[in-house]
A and B are shown apart, each in its own frame.
Chain A
Amino acid sequence: MQPTALVLRAAGTNCERETAWTLRQAGATADILHVNELLREPARLRDYHLLAIPGGFSYGDDLGSGVVFANQLRSRLKPEIEKFIEDGKLMLGICNGFQVLLKAGLLTGRDVFDDPPRATLSWNMSGRYEDRWVDLRIVSEKTPFVSGRKVVSYPVAHAEGQFIAPDALLDELEQDQQVVFQYVDADGRPTQQFPANPNGSSRAIAGICSKSGQVLGLMPHPERNIRHFHHPEWKRMPKRQWGDGFELFQNAVRRAGQLVG
């Protein structure tokens, strides 16, 4: 049996179709569900092994990026999400999805939910939305979403991607191997320099996982580097079957497959 993935959308989510398509290519079944349907019947979450919250502008980010959606997870789906994590299942948040998971407290705590969340994603140092490709180094293998400490290229497209947390928490995240992706320069070193670090994130953090490794959030978009024509230099490169981003989904689906009874 195939593992099942739920791509959860809300008003303003806009990357659900390519995220679901990629999960299917990686071997999962993938359903796209409006959060209203899950709020009506939270137990439906139990049908899935992997929950993905894709990019977009949930509820317009009108109260701050991801805030309204995060509030729904915290205040209306908490028991089901706790059970989901206890069952060893996986959660992935990309871009706005990362903002949602972080602001729901699903990435920084010792328990499933950190209350109140101790880290945030704030305005880019440049003060505006930008779309550009970045190089990332995988610096921890704590999470099953990654394999191998390599450098990969994904695009970022956001206005609020600057990772901010108190120093003590940053130290803790590093110590516990929760920092998974860092923005790196042309020599592959973590950098604070714009534009290689597109938003000024502390310690060049582009993505982190939870203590358990089951929850991963990142600002860059792996689902936008899947097909051979996605990379901006594809006309200069030998033809590849898959782009750098595909491995993350394959890894996730593989681990989710181990949960299938």
Chain B
Amino acid sequence: MLWKIRLVPKSGAKSPESLRVARTLSDAGVNAAGIVHHRLFLIEGELDRETALRIGGALLADPVLEIAEVYEGTQEEPHAGRLFHVMRRTGVMDPVEASLTRALRDIGVNPTGVKSADQYLFADKPSAQDLSRAAPALGNIVVDESHAGALKLDALPRGRKHEFKRIEVAVRMFDDAHLQQVNAEHRLALNIEEMRAIRKYFEDAGREPTDVELQTIAQTWSEHCKHKTLTGMVHYRERGPGNADELEADSLFGLGDLPLDGKIDNLLKATIKRATDELAKPWCLSVFVDNAGVIGFDEQDAICFKVETHNHPSAIEPYGGAGTGIGGVIRDIMGTGLGARPVMNTDVFCFGPPDLAADHVHRGAMHPRKIMRGVVSGVRDYGNRMGIPTTNGSVHFDARYTGNPLVYAGSVGIIPRDKIAKAARAGDHIIVVGGRTGRDGIGGATFSSVELTSKSEVVSSGAVQIGNAIQEQMVLETLLKARDLNLYHAVTDCGAGGLSSAVGEMGEQLGAHVELSHVPLKYEGLSCLEVWISEAQERMVVAVAPHKVADILQLFRDEDVEATDIGVFGNNGRLHLDWHGQRVCDLAMEFMHDGMPRIEREAVYEAPKRHVPHGDAKSGAGEILAAILASPNVCSKEWIVRQYDHEVQAGSAVKPFTGPGRDGPSDGCAVVPKPGGEDAIVVSNGLNTRYGDVDPYWMAQSNIDEALRNYVATGGDIDHCAILDNFSWGKCNKPDRMGAMVRACYGALHAARAYGTPFISGKDSLNNEFKTEAGVSIAIPHTLLISAIGKAVSIDALTTSDLKRPGNKLLLAGFTSREFAGSHHELVTGIAGDVPPRVDAALALKMFRAINAAQRAGFVASAHDCSEGGLAVALAEMCIGGRLGAKVRLRQEMAATDADIDDTTLLFSESNSRLILEIAPHHEAAVFELFAGLPLFELGEVVSGPRLQIEGLQGTVPIDADVLEMRDMWRQPIYAVFGETSPA
């Protein structure tokens, strides 16, 4: 028997959900006035009407707000012609099903199946056009289906049983053209050399591969899993003016470390990892080998950090893509060492302009606003449900992200020092724990390695995943219990490539034997290949000694988490997969992990011809400041940030917003990761894509500098700080993209080395281009996110950016140069700058140490870094945060050279390594002493009247602005994007 239970709001069309739906639909051009939203549950099982009524009335309906109605499955509700339904497609994760089943069991009902849906009752019969617009507005066609009229079902839809067939794919004796065909047909995303290597392997083996073997190799060799571009061979060249083979300025050949012939064997090793190796910090405990980099924290514990991208899924299904992005990186932390506990998350997004005209959105892409709303909701719902505070991030906008947005998700964990090492042993059982396996996300690893097109939404829908955060939270709690009971030898997460990657990695040195039919499925109908490569979320694999298998299975059962024994790690170095005893895969681990031919890339860098945007003529510094404060990259992201829990776990010590109005921007965040703990973690990030359009070398250095000055401004100890790199780039088989990549990597090496901040983890995403219908491929800007993590000088030395007390002195650390290329001054005025901001890391390091010393001594009342918009914007933000004013005078000596002496440069140039410090008058001399021999200048003082007044070199006052007016300009824009006003 199937029952439909629907919950009708007593307030009808005025219920909050009904009103929200009406707004959403009217935005989509649907006449939806008076629409009413009903919650609908389908329950199948041996139950009578009385029980169904009890379920509706006493369990599901909120007795204050809703009335429950019960219908038989095939019965029509009243006004069936005005009904519309949206629900998850069969087989797509719907977390409600598990919770409903659990609640029904608690009242003694055992259903054979349940499903949830949203039902909408239109006030008038909707037109066909209304319905066709409503479906994509209320759901996402990739994961949801819709239905007009009454739902009439006698049973819940189910998957069909899969008929097993062992499939062999002919590759031997074929020419390249045919191999290419196999590559395309099976969506392997491999290149011809790789296909040839596969052909050779099976020629030697004297047989054809199975489909499972081919896909296993494709997943293992994917760019996503193997980083073959960055670890391959590169030949770098430059093209200067008049086809000269060197640039006029900043030739990479003159900057050090690059081999003179431009030939680089493994770019990652030559740059990013090289910095780490040279620095050899004793507190680097595990770098570049595990799911996350691990550094020391205190005597008992270490901390680990990983940042991932989830770009392509987020372009197609922003909510699910971003949610599973954060879910995936949290699993990376859970799978670091023997398992770490996540203590905070970060998120950084890059979108197209939020106010983009509808006709500028490429066909096949979503409007940036819709992507932003979905991405924010996805991160919010997953992170909040996991109980992990989201405390650091940033948002960036550029038209080139319209078809290919970027979603970076990071997670920080804490792990006992004696749980960092792990290794599966021969004979260990392979236990998969957590969610069941479905058809979700099949081919994600290979999908992320190809470019998006106007058809991606249709072609790749299988690659989209929907997460269930509660499932993951249950896995986390149980896994850490098992860790502390020493019940397993190794753990890793199922990420890209699913079981194939997880088991393949853990068994690399051993071999493994898996019986795929033992893997628990969400529904019938999966082929063994699908089981093996599904990227269904919330699954981990643990390696368990035979005598502990029973204990660990019991532990997981007690917490309602499924754990299943699916195989054994071997000692013969082979990967054996069976399906009901029949062998479907027999590969040498050595071939999978070391048999991949190395890639060779051409890299050509030519100084770019820049298109400086047309800015509006501004009448003066005041207008320029106002325009920068309101520009999308600089303005407040409060609308987004308040939707994240940044307090859960009660460790948040420097929060995203600061000051009496709790709206001043924080530079970084600080978290005390242990209840009662006396040490804090500081995390910050640096990302500026506009500099990359000028020179990726200096962009990389600037981004590292920005991350570090944010870190120091917050109170992080510069001598206990590590960084992470996340490259998102265009297609690197194009020499110009690769040329920019090489420059960025060397910039990263030089800055990391000079600052003494080792890279400990990183990730690259290299195919971020969108192909329009007209066939034009739009590459994203070169995007290098730098995330910094380390230990605070002390909890009491933590520093916030809001001005604290009238009468305090304001000091500026660092020289200012005329560096406007890529600046926000350039962006809002259209006046092109000549050079991008550069970095003198040796000098900056000394300043950062001096600031740390001042923080340690308790001298620093507030600190804030100068970034987009330079000194003027930084001062404005400090005033906004503190609800106080500042009286400031520009001075000649702040300029690095005589050529840099002018008001505009001192106000708006984005020279790196500069921080503003607020110091009580009686500590001023001591701070100058700490800065002996370093650039530190008196700026002025904090005043109680809420005005920012900046006096220029000539005695004029180019900036005289009201603080509350600046706050509104800076705070309102993102609210306005969503048709709201910022709260008072």
Q: Which A positions have Cβ atoms within 8 angstroms of B? A: 11-12, 14-15, 17-18, 21-22, 25, 34, 36-37, 55-57, 59-60, 62-64, 67-68, 71-72, 75-76, 103, 116-120, 122-123, 125, 127-133, 155, 157, 164-166, 194-195, 221, 223-224, 226-227, 229-230, 232-236, 239
Question: Which of B640-648, B813-821, B888-896 touches A?
Answer: B640-648
Give chain B interface residues in 658-676, CB to chain A under 8 Å: 658-660, 662, 672, 675-676
The residues of A that contact B861 with a CB separation of less than 8 Å are 235
Min CB gap A119→B, angstroms: 6
The residue of chain A having its C-beta at the shortest distance from the C-beta of B680 within the complex is: A229
In the complex the two chains form, is B644's CB within 8 Å of A232's CB? no
In the complex the two chains form, is A235's CB within 8 Å of B647's CB? no
Measured between alpha carbons, how far is A119 from B64 in the docked complex, in Å?
6
Min CB gap B897→A, angstroms: 37
In the complex the two chains form, is A229's CB within 8 Å of B798's CB? yes
In the complex the two chains form, is B675's CB within 8 Å of A17's CB? yes
In the complex the two chains form, is B380's CB within 8 Å of A60's CB? no
Q: Of A36, A132, A164, A229, which is within 8 A of B642 by CB?
A: A132
Asked whether A11 and B95 contact (CB < 8 A) given A17-B649, A34-B559, A118-B64, the answer is no
Name, among A60, A164, A234, the residue most crowded by chain B CB atoms within 10 Å (CB to CB).
A60
What are 19 A-to-B residue pairs whose CB atoms are below 8 Å? Answer: A14-B386, A34-B558, A36-B560, A59-B470, A62-B470, A63-B59, A63-B100, A67-B59, A68-B99, A122-B64, A131-B647, A132-B662, A195-B983, A195-B984, A230-B653, A232-B657, A233-B659, A235-B798, A236-B660
Determine whether B593 belongs to the interface, using a CB cutoff of 8 Å to chain A: no
Min CB gap B408→A, angstroms: 21
Measured between alpha carbons, how far is A12 from B676 in the docked complex, in Å?
23
Measured between alpha carbons, how far is A116 from B98 in the docked complex, in Å?
25
The residues of A that contact B676 with a CB separation of less than 8 Å are 21, 25
Min CB gap A241→B, angstroms: 13
The residue of chain B having its C-beta at the shortest distance from the C-beta of A235 within the complex is: B800
Determine whether B612 belongs to the interface, using a CB cutoff of 8 Å to chain A: no
The residue of chain A having its C-beta at the shortest distance from the C-beta of B60 within the complex is: A63
The residues of B that contact A123 with a CB separation of less than 8 Å are 16-17
B459-496 vs A, CB cutoff 8 Å, 1 = contact: the mask equals 00000000011100110000000000000000000000
Determine whether B799 belongs to the interface, using a CB cutoff of 8 Å to chain A: yes
The residues of A that contact B386 with a CB separation of less than 8 Å are 14
Determine whether B150 belongs to the interface, using a CB cutoff of 8 Å to chain A: no
Min CB gap B602→A, angstroms: 49
Measured between alpha carbons, how far is A12 from B561 in the docked complex, in Å?
13
The residues of B that contact A17 with a CB separation of less than 8 Å are 649, 675
Asked whether A62 and B95 contact (CB < 8 A) given A67-B59, A71-B106, A236-B660, the answer is yes
Determine whether B387 belongs to the interface, using a CB cutoff of 8 Å to chain A: yes
The residues of A that contact B559 with a CB separation of less than 8 Å are 11, 34, 36
Measured between alpha carbons, how far is A11 from B643 in the docked complex, in Å?
22
The 9 closest A-B pairs by CB, nearest first: A14-B387, A62-B99, A21-B675, A18-B650, A120-B64, A116-B63, A229-B653, A60-B470, A123-B16
In the complex the two chains form, is B660's CB within 8 Å of A233's CB? yes
Measured between alpha carbons, how far is A62 from B691 in the docked complex, in Å?
45
Min CB gap A233→B, angstroms: 6
Min CB gap A199→B, angstroms: 11
Min CB gap B326→A, angstroms: 15
Asked whether A56 and B387 contact (CB < 8 A) given A21-B676, A123-B16, A235-B800, the answer is yes
Give chain B interface residues in 72-115, CB to chain A under 8 Å: 95-96, 98-100, 102-103, 106-107
The residues of B that contact A37 with a CB separation of less than 8 Å are 558
The residues of B that contact A232 with a CB separation of less than 8 Å are 655, 657-659, 662
The residues of B that contact A15 with a CB separation of less than 8 Å are 387, 648-650
Min CB gap A175→B, angstroms: 20
B954-984 vs A, CB cutoff 8 Å, 1 = contact: the mask equals 0000000000000000000000000000011
The residue of chain A having its C-beta at the shortest distance from the C-beta of B100 within the complex is: A63
Determine whether B384 belongs to the interface, using a CB cutoff of 8 Å to chain A: yes
Asked whether A117 and B63 contact (CB < 8 A) given A17-B675, A130-B643, A131-B642, the answer is yes
Measured between alpha carbons, how far is A83 from B653 in the docked complex, in Å?
41
Measured between alpha carbons, how far is A236 from B558 in the docked complex, in Å?
47
The residue of chain A having its C-beta at the shortest distance from the C-beta of B23 within the complex is: A127
In the complex the two chains form, is A60's CB within 8 Å of B469's CB? yes
The residues of B that contact A239 with a CB separation of less than 8 Å are 796
In the complex the two chains form, is A129's CB within 8 Å of B99's CB? no
The residues of B that contact A12 with a CB separation of less than 8 Å are 385, 470, 473-474
In the complex the two chains form, is A236's CB within 8 Å of B470's CB? no
Q: How many residues in B have their beta carbons less than 8 Å from beta carbons of A? A: 63
Measured between alpha carbons, how far is A195 from B796 in the docked complex, in Å?
30
Measured between alpha carbons, how far is A119 from B100 in the docked complex, in Å?
22
The residue of chain B having its C-beta at the shortest distance from the C-beta of A32 within the complex is: B477
Q: Of B385, B675, B804, which is within 8 A of A235 by CB?
A: B804
Determine whether B580 belongs to the interface, using a CB cutoff of 8 Å to chain A: no
The residues of B that contact A122 with a CB separation of less than 8 Å are 16, 62, 64-65
Name, among B106, B659, B795, the residue most crowded by chain A CB atoms within 10 Å (CB to CB).
B106
Measured between alpha carbons, how far is A8 from B890 in the docked complex, in Å?
59
B373-390 vs A, CB cutoff 8 Å, 1 = contact: the mask equals 000000010001111000
The residues of B that contact A230 with a CB separation of less than 8 Å are 650, 652-653
The residue of chain B having its C-beta at the shortest distance from the C-beta of A18 within the complex is: B650
In the complex the two chains form, is B983's CB within 8 Å of A194's CB? yes
Measured between alpha carbons, how far is A82 from B804 in the docked complex, in Å?
52
Name, among B63, B95, B655, B804, the residue most crowded by chain A CB atoms within 10 Å (CB to CB).
B63
Measured between alpha carbons, how far is A72 from B106 in the docked complex, in Å?
6
The residue of chain B having its C-beta at the shortest distance from the C-beta of A17 within the complex is: B675
In the complex the two chains form, is B99's CB within 8 Å of A18's CB? no
In the complex the two chains form, is B647's CB within 8 Å of A221's CB? yes
In the complex the two chains form, is A55's CB within 8 Å of B643's CB? no
Determine whether B58 belongs to the interface, using a CB cutoff of 8 Å to chain A: yes
Min CB gap A148→B, angstroms: 23
Determine whether B20 belongs to the interface, using a CB cutoff of 8 Å to chain A: yes
The residues of A that contact B983 with a CB separation of less than 8 Å are 194-195
Measured between alpha carbons, how far is A76 from B95 in the docked complex, in Å?
23
The residues of B that contact A62 with a CB separation of less than 8 Å are 95-96, 98-100, 470
In the complex the two chains form, is A117's CB within 8 Å of B64's CB? yes
The residue of chain B having its C-beta at the shortest distance from the C-beta of A115 within the complex is: B58
In the complex the two chains form, is B384's CB within 8 Å of A129's CB? yes
The residues of B that contact A117 with a CB separation of less than 8 Å are 63-64
Q: Of B96, B106, B662, B804, which is within 8 A of A133 by CB?
A: B662
Asked whether A71 and B103 contact (CB < 8 A) given A11-B560, A57-B385, A130-B642, the answer is yes
Min CB gap B652→A, angstroms: 8
In the complex the two chains form, is B662's CB within 8 Å of A120's CB? no
In the complex the two chains form, is B64's CB within 8 Å of A157's CB? no
Measured between alpha carbons, how far is A119 from B560 in the docked complex, in Å?
31
The residues of A that contact B655 with a CB separation of less than 8 Å are 232
The residues of A that contact B58 with a CB separation of less than 8 Å are 116
In the complex the two chains form, is B470's CB within 8 Å of A235's CB? no
Min CB gap B327→A, angstroms: 13
In the complex the two chains form, is B62's CB within 8 Å of A64's CB? yes
Min CB gap A124→B, angstroms: 8
The residues of A that contact B645 with a CB separation of less than 8 Å are 129, 131, 157
The residues of B that contact A72 with a CB separation of less than 8 Å are 106
B511-535 vs A, CB cutoff 8 Å, 1 = contact: the mask equals 0000000000000000000000000
In the complex the two chains form, is B468's CB within 8 Å of A60's CB? yes
Measured between alpha carbons, how far is A12 from B96 in the docked complex, in Å?
13
The residues of B that contact A223 with a CB separation of less than 8 Å are 650
Measured between alpha carbons, how far is A229 from B670 in the docked complex, in Å?
10
Name, among B96, B676, B984, the residue most crowded by chain A CB atoms within 10 Å (CB to CB).
B676
Min CB gap A220→B, angstroms: 11
The residues of A that contact B798 with a CB separation of less than 8 Å are 229, 235
Name, among A55, A117, A227, the residue most crowded by chain B CB atoms within 10 Å (CB to CB).
A227
The residue of chain A having its C-beta at the shortest distance from the C-beta of B96 within the complex is: A62
In the complex the two chains form, is B647's CB within 8 Å of A155's CB? yes
The residues of B that contact A234 with a CB separation of less than 8 Å are 653
Measured between alpha carbons, how far is A230 from B647 in the docked complex, in Å?
9
Measured between alpha carbons, how far is A232 from B470 in the docked complex, in Å?
29
Measured between alpha carbons, how far is A230 from B670 in the docked complex, in Å?
11
Measured between alpha carbons, how far is A136 from B655 in the docked complex, in Å?
21
